[in-house]
Amino acid sequence: MENLKTYIQSNSQTFLDELFGLIRIPSISSESAHRDDMVKTAQYLVDQLLKAGVDKAEIMPTTGHPVVYGEKIVDPAQPTILVYGHYDVMPVDPLNLWHSPPFEPEIREGKIYARGAVDDKGQLFMQLKAFEYLVSTGQLRFNVKWIIEGEEEMGSPALGKWLPDHKELLKADLILVSDTSMIAIDIPSVTVGLRGLAYMEVEVSGPDKDLHSGLYGGAVANPANVLAKMIASLHDENNHITIPGFYDDVLELTIDDRRDMARAPFNLVEYRKKLDIKATLCEKGYTVNECTGTRPTLDVNGIWSGYTGEGSKTVLPAKAYAKISMRLVPHQDPHKIADLFTRYFESITPDYVKVKVTEHHGGFPYVAPTNTAAYRAASKAYETTFGIKPVPTRSGGSIPIISTFEQVLGIKSILMGFGLDTDAAHSPNENYHLECFYKGIETITWFYKYYQDELNEPNS
């Protein structure tokens, strides 16, 4: 491992060139106009996997965007690590807020600015480069399989369906993932919990067409006003969610859990300042970190109705729409929550409008233990490169496929992320620190080494 740093330094420009080639393909999974870009991106990754040293790599069809599979079998008797990543990215609107075009990566102040820079193309590339180093220097002791999908940002619907038929192909001892964040650039952390997700879309219909708000206003219910009222009623004055049964399966924190969480470095004044808000809005009785890491939420992700252009239009809109998602925690079931939401939303519908509720993707929450060889190896790896032990944290985000892997394949994941909350993942001006990118490659390489040590000392 002594030449690891030198290897990264001397190849740093090549790594970036290759990553930028990947970023330049606008692989927005949720927009059907980008269907061809998805296949192009998958093909690019097949080439990169082969270059990095896999025995074979291929594009495999699914019911949605294809997955990329690759493998390097050094010895069937040895343990196997399955690396998971995703090549799709979020939509880029509002485009006018980007300081440089989202699919033309640009380096400014030590950061790569582009859609996918951190989520997840940049982080996936660290995995590729750590693997490339180990193969090229003859130090790879594990079998490594790769599964890279194109629908993570949509909740992995196709991969979820594809998995049961490919259990044998993906057989492994551990899943290794870089798609999460650290507390800060100098405070590494390992994510040991992820929230689940239920994502709904609602349509409130009033009259059969847009009406003149003067001629009908006052007598015909306005779907936009009604939708606002319905959304408002989903939280009570303590910011609890009012859907009956919503909290039934929520795992309440123990005193110990809360004490542990309170130890993670957190500065509320800084948090507010960074976001330019005067106050936070938490569920009553819980701290910020408890709320984002361990409590379920309900957020409007989008709302639209009527005239939204320049100036004014006196229209009483025929329809109003909202996208509403709920982050879930152990042991909430996204399908059950989607049902509860639908039933409740329908039940509060007044008779002067009609309501249609549809369900987008969902995912189960996930919790990982810290008393495993994988966690210990990850902890040592971060400590080697960052100089301090990482903090185990629970992220508010969701990677629904992680819990699906556990349910279908029976394999736990280790989440070694190197992003930062300030990277603007999913937002305009998404970026990724070059320092995190290069340190990530180094840390992942060390993980392979320490994981091997851990497995050789089973009683440690």
Positions 208 through 237 that interact with a copy of itself (CB under 8 A): 208-222, 224-225, 227-229, 231-233, 235
Nearest in space to 42 (alpha carbons), one of 155, 129, 124: 124
Stretch that binds a copy of itself, among 6-14, 292-300, 383-391, 402-410 (CB under 8 A): 292-300
Binding-site string for a copy of itself from residue 368 to residue 397, where x marks contact by CB under 8 A and - marks none: ---------------------------xxx
Helix pair angle (121-136, 35-52), 10° resolution: 20
| CB of residue 106 to a copy of itself, shortest distance in Å | 18
Cα-based distances in Å from 178 to 70, 202, 274, 361: 17, 33, 25, 22
Residue 240 lies near a copy of itself (rule: CB under 8 A): no
Alpha-carbon span 161 to 188, nearest angstrom: 34
For the bound state, the minimum distance from the C-beta of residue 386 to a copy of itself, rounded and expressed in Å, comes to 21
Selection from 37, 89, 40, 48 nearest residue 70 by Cα: 48
* Minimum distance of a copy of itself from residue 125's CB (angstroms): 20
Q: Are strands 111-113 and 431-433 parallel, antiparallel or unpaired?
A: antiparallel
Q: Residue 288 interacts with a copy of itself (CB under 8 A)?
A: yes
Given a contact cutoff of 8 angstroms between Cβ atoms, the answer to whether 216 and 317 are in contact is no
Q: Among the candidate windows 19-27, 105-113, 293-301, 370-378, which touches a copy of itself by CB under 8 A? A: 293-301
Q: Which of residues 156-185 bind a copy of itself (CB under 8 A)?
A: 181
Nearer to a copy of itself, 214 or 458 (CB): 214
Write down the residue that tokens 């997955």 correspond to. Answer: 67
Shortest CB 248 distance to a copy of itself, Å:
18
Query: E strand or H helix at 460, and its extent?
Result: none
Candidates 196, 205, 219; CA nearest to 364 is 196
Query: Which region, judged by CB under 8 A, interacts with a copy of itself, from 40-48, 66-74, 78-86, 192-200?
Result: 192-200
- 280 binds a copy of itself per the rule CB under 8 A: yes
The pair of three-digit structure tokens given for residue 204, joined into one six-digit string: 């409130």
**Using alpha carbons only, what angle is made at residue 211 by residues 210 and 213, rounded to the nearest 5 degrees?**
130
Q: Measured between alpha carbons, how far is 161 from 164 in angstroms, rounded to an integer?
A: 7
Sort 1 into a burial class: Cβ within 10 Å, 0-12 / 13-18 / 19+.
middle
List binders of a copy of itself among 320-379 (CB under 8 A): 320-323, 325, 327, 350-353, 360-361
* Intra-chain end-to-end CA distance of the chain, in Å: 23
Which amino acid does the sequence have at 221? A
Query: 195, 380, 433, 439: which one contacts a copy of itself (CB under 8 A)?
Result: 195
Q: How far is the CB of 320 from a copy of itself (least distance, A)?
A: 7
Interaction between residue 31 and a copy of itself (CB under 8 A):
yes
Least distance (Å) between residue 183 CB and a copy of itself: 12
What string of DSSP letters covers 222-267?
-HHHHHHHHHHTTB-TTS-B-STTTTTT--PPPHHHHHHHHHS---
Which two tokens mark 429? 């001006």
Residue (219 or 269) nearer to a copy of itself, CB:
219
Scanning residues 88 to 127, which ones bind a copy of itself (CB under 8 A)?
Answer: 90-91, 93-94, 97
Q: Is residue 34 at the binding interface for a copy of itself, with CB under 8 A as the rule?
A: no
Closer residue to a copy of itself in complex, CB, 33/77: 33
For position 402 contacting a copy of itself by CB under 8 A, the verdict is no
CB of 175 to a copy of itself, least distance (A): 20
DSSP 8-state class, residue 389: P
Total number of residues that touch a copy of itself (CB under 8 A): 100
Q: Does 242 bind a copy of itself (CB under 8 A)?
A: no
Closer residue to a copy of itself (CB): 51 or 354: 354
Buried b (16+ CB within 10 A) or exposed e, 105-124: beeeeebbbbbbbbbbbbbb
Instruction: Give the nearer residue to a copy of itself in terms of CB position, either 291 or 374.
Output: 291
Task: Give whichever of 64 and 105 is closer to a copy of itself, judged by the CB atom.
Answer: 64
Contact track, a copy of itself, 296-325, x by CB under 8 A: xxxxxxxxxxxxxxxxxxxxxx--xxxx-x
The enclosing H or E element of 431 equals strand 431-433
Interface segment toward a copy of itself; rule CB under 8 A; list 99-107, 132-140, 285-293, 376-384: 285-293
